[in-house]
Amino acid sequence: MSSYNLDEVKEMAGGDEDFMLVVVQTFLEEIPPDVAAMNEAIGNDNPSLAYQFAHKMKPNLQLFGLNLMDQILTIEAWAKNGQKKGEVPQAAEAITKKVDVAAIALKRDFELE
């Protein structure tokens, strides 16, 4: 079982392998640093900054089939609704782990080491 799903990427690329590679490379360049920045914002009790990074990542996480919407929504709710931090650290940890595993697999599968 793969840690990611490229069905939507393939559909968007329309069979263009070079375009798919660019999409994967862009994901690898942008999402792990955004996850780190989101985690830093959470650690610094900065819900609005955490929201910005979580919200920015949402389309890419969906595009790669990472199924992290519940966790993203938890972080967004913390920022938007002034909710207690509560489950935010666990949500961030789940996002971090899944993105890390997917990034390693994408690098391997697309020979980008």
Q: Is residue 27 part of a domain?
A: yes
Angle among Cα 44, 98, 80 to the nearest 5 degrees reads 40
Between CA 46 and CA 50 the distance in angstroms is 6
Instruction: Output the pTM of the full model.
Output: 0.94
Instruction: Please answer whether residues 39 and 95 qualify as being in contact, where contact means their C-beta atoms are separated by less than 8 angstroms.
Output: no
Identify whether 67 is part of a domain.
yes
Say whether pLDDT at 1 is over 70.
no
Assess if residue 1 is contained within a domain: no
- 44 assigned to some structural domain: yes
Task: Report if residue 102 sits inside a domain.
Answer: yes
Domain membership of residue 104 as a residue range: 6-110
Cα 14 from chain centre: 23
pLDDT at 48 (0 to 100): 95
Would you place residue 57 in the very low, low, confident or very high pLDDT band (cuts 50, 70, 90)?
A: very high
Q: Specify the number of domains making up the chain.
A: 1
Domain with residue 30: its CATH number is: 1.20.120
- Give the tens place of pLDDT for each residue, 64-90: 999 999 999 999 999 998 878 999 999
The tokens for 12 are 């968007």
pLDDT tens digits along 24-51: 999 999 999 999 999 999 999 999 999 9
CA 47 centroid distance within chain: 17
